[in-house]
Amino acid sequence: MGKINLKAPAKINLFLQVIDERPDGFHNIDSLIQAVSLYDDITLEISDDIELECSGLDDINVEDNLAYKAAKLVSGMAYFPGVRIALNKNIPIGSGLGGGSSDAAFVIRGLIKLFNLQLDRVELVNKAVSLGADIPFFLGHGQSRIRGIGDIMEDYFLPLNYEILIIKPSFSINTSKAYQALNLHRQGKFTLTKEKDICFLQKRLTDSGFVRAAKHFTNDFEEVVFSWRHELLQVKQTLLQEGAFYAGMSGSGSAIFGLFPPNYNFEKASRRFTDEKMTVFACRPVLLPTTE
């Protein structure tokens, strides 16, 4: 086997709480994350060096691409001769959907398989999180509660029997600026961060339990980001009007998603966004193969 093809999925943050800022400048978070069936396509082929060809992401240098950085990270942990990475981007950047982190994680997954590498799991997670906080999630099974800076992960077992509509506007949100704005916003409102009551998050949820739990889902970034871009709040409200049992922003935005009952017909809901310069993705929750 000298070549493998991979599909790197996007993710949505069903729940996202920013706990506090750490002395090192990173933030502790608490988030429930679900992988979804919107994919970047990756091909890995044995080569004599680490190379990357990327379509759909022309404004980023090869050395700055997370897929390339992930291959370099693995090369520092175990020997392999080299790999040619062909990456086709479909997940929009600056959307909060985790495309870059997913690409990195699936390059790692692919290298392990392609070269039969034996990597220490704890060391891998600790190093991967330094590249991107969502990378450890994409090394998991696709449904996890994430804490710390992304390095503390618990598997959750959630229903898969629902539909997802993702709306991506033409603009993106800078994650670093969103965190900075959130810090300033909080300083103006209160001095100590108080954790929300998240006892509704059970490790195993039935279909009906998931819908009930969704009534408590929140994203700490929404208040700040919606104050910048009022149209995102309108997108969320429209999704709820169209029958979503929950709608919210993924990560720090700019993508807004709605969760709908199974077999929902998205035709009418999708038409609501056709004249708004927004891209619409219809997808489903998915599980990921284990890397153990």
Catalytic residue among 11, 69, 127, 168: 11
Count of structural domains within the chain: 2
Average pLDDT over residues 236-263: 97
Q: What's 67's domain CATH number?
A: 3.30.230.10
Q: What does the DSSP assignment read for 86-139?
A: EEE--SPTTSSS-HHHHHHHHHHHHHHHHHT----HHHHHHHHHHH-TTHHHHT
Tens of pLDDT, residues 111-150:
999 999 999 999 999 999 999 999 999 999 999 999 999 9
The token pair that represents 123 in the structure block: 């060391």
Sign for the pseudo-dihedral over CA of 120, 102, 132, 147 = negative
Residue 119: is it exposed, middle or buried by C-beta count within 10 angstroms (0-12/13-18/19+)?
middle
Predicted structure pTM score: 0.94
Give the whole-angstrom CA distance, residue 126 versus residue 139.
12
Would residue 134 show up in a list of annotated catalytic residues for this protein?
yes
Give the whole-angstrom CA distance, residue 107 versus residue 111.
6
Tens of pLDDT, residues 192-242:
344 555 555 788 999 999 999 999 999 999 999 999 999 999 999 999 999
Give the whole-angstrom CA distance, residue 282 versus residue 60.
27
180 shares its domain with 277 = yes
263 shares its domain with 136 = no
Domain that includes residue 76, residue range: 3-155
Comparing 32 with 56, the larger pLDDT belongs to: 32
201 shares its domain with 111 = no
Mean pLDDT of the chain: 92
Catalytic residue among 69, 134, 220, 236: 134
196 shares its domain with 245 = yes
Cβ contact 244:266 at 8 Å: no
